[in-house]
Structure 1
Amino acid sequence: MTLQLVEYEINKVPLYAHFFKTLIIGFMITFLSSCTEVQKSEPTIYLIPEGYIGSLYIVFNAPNGEPPKYEGDSRVYDIPPSGVLVTQMDANEGWSESSEIKYFSVSQSGKRAPISTVSEDTPDNTRAIYSGGLGEAGPIFGCTVINKKFTIGTKSQRTDLHKLLTIFEAIKVKNIDKKLFEGMC
């Protein structure tokens, strides 16, 4: 019996050893999590043709696409009348505050009017933008492309399947120039 008691006392770990072990593991987790911090995206301005209704696409990383545009520190995506912008810019991944993302309807004369984003409080008859996420699509002219999709219009227009085109349909219907996609893959 005394031999078992002696073995028990030898194998028993003091309480302070558990504390230090927990403390070291906590420091390691904190250090490693600081290495995987999510980057912040650049502020963004989206310029959308006045009266445009339906699907909008931005295709990123196209060497022959539109060159980068900035206003101050904000990226500017000037969506053409086709609703498909092919740009040289990267996808601007990361987190952002909603106040740093602005949508404008742009008239023929260049006058800008703010466009609100869809929320629970958006009236059904209000023209608003529903912002989608980043995605990949392909093959488009032989390449897989990174793109961002939006939908703009009133509630019934944003859900009208005749106005909502896939990126493949938009490129075909809007007759987007194949040359913009050269060199992407």
Structure 2
Amino acid sequence: MTLQLADYEISKVPLYAHFFKTLTIGFMISFLSSCTEVKKREPAIYLIPEEYVGSLYIVFNAPNGKPPKYEGNSRVYHIPPSGVLVTQMDANEGWSESSEIKYFSVSKSGKRTPMYESSENTPKTERTVYVGGLGHSGPIYGCTVINKNFTVGTDAEQRNTKKLLTIFEAIKVKNIDKKLFEGMC
């Protein structure tokens, strides 16, 4: 009987140890995954002037900027001929499916023609959008601004340094109204 009890005690310990080990690993995975949760951003439509070539900027969180505009559940960024959109919308950070981001070249009559992001497979003569990043720039009229930048054009046009302006140059060269930036600081 003593031998049977000893066998029972030995086989019982690994079962509990395995249970607690599994439980601990489960808690760790749950904790770490809750810390790394990434927000999903809203779908977006970018409307770019038909003949536009060069750098584009969207400046976010500007109280005097363009009010938010939506088509269905998609944000609409209607880029003005200057190439600099100053908007009241926030930066829309997070991840999204590539199918939820759409780019259009827009004629003066309002006709939309789909555009695509630059890739290795894009013909060098096709007009595309090269998506830059979301970042902070400043000081612009005394404020640091959140902005997203793009370039638009064929491969050669997107490499033409005369068309590629920094956000500071774009605001100055394109005469972007200083009043749009008031209240951002």
Partners in 2 of 1:118 and 1:25 — Cα distance? 46
Match of 1:168 in 2: 168
Match of 2:133 in 1: 133
Residue 133 of structure 1 deviates from its aligned partner by: 1.4
Residue pairs, 1:12-51, within 5 angstroms: 14-32=13-31, 33-51=33-51
In the TM superposition, what whole-angstrom CA distance separates every residue of 1:127-174 from its partner, at most 9, and x where no partner exists? 000011100000000000000000000001111111100000000000
Q: Which segments of 5 or more consecutive residues in structure 1 lack a partner in the other structure?
A: 1-13
Match of 2:57 in 1: 57
Residue 104 of structure 1 deviates from its aligned partner by: 0.3
AA aligned to 2:167 is I
Report how many aligned residue pairs link the two structures.
172
Partners in 2 of 1:161 and 1:17 — Cα distance? 68
Q: Which segments of 5 or more consecutive residues in structure 2 lack a partner in the other structure?
A: 1-12
Match of 2:81 in 1: 81
Q: What TM-score comes out, normalization by structure 2 length?
A: 0.89
Residue pairs, 1:147-158, within 5 angstroms: 147-158=147-158
Partners in 1 of 2:137 and 2:58 — Cα distance? 12
AA aligned to 2:168 is F
Give the SS at the match of 1:62: coil
In the TM superposition, what whole-angstrom CA distance separates every residue of 1:23-43 from its partner, at most 9, and x where no partner exists? 132222232113542111111
Give the SS at the match of 1:30: helix
Partners in 1 of 2:54 and 2:24 — Cα distance? 52
Partners in 2 of 1:18 and 1:56 — Cα distance? 59
Q: Output the aligned Cα RMSD.
A: 1.2
Residue 72 of structure 1 deviates from its aligned partner by: 0.4
Match of 1:121 in 2: 121
Match of 1:145 in 2: 145
Q: What TM-score comes out, normalization by structure 1 length?
A: 0.89
Of all paired residues, the percent bearing the same amino acid is: 70
Partners in 1 of 2:175 and 2:70 — Cα distance? 27
Match of 1:6 in 2: none
Partners in 1 of 2:180 and 2:116 — Cα distance? 30
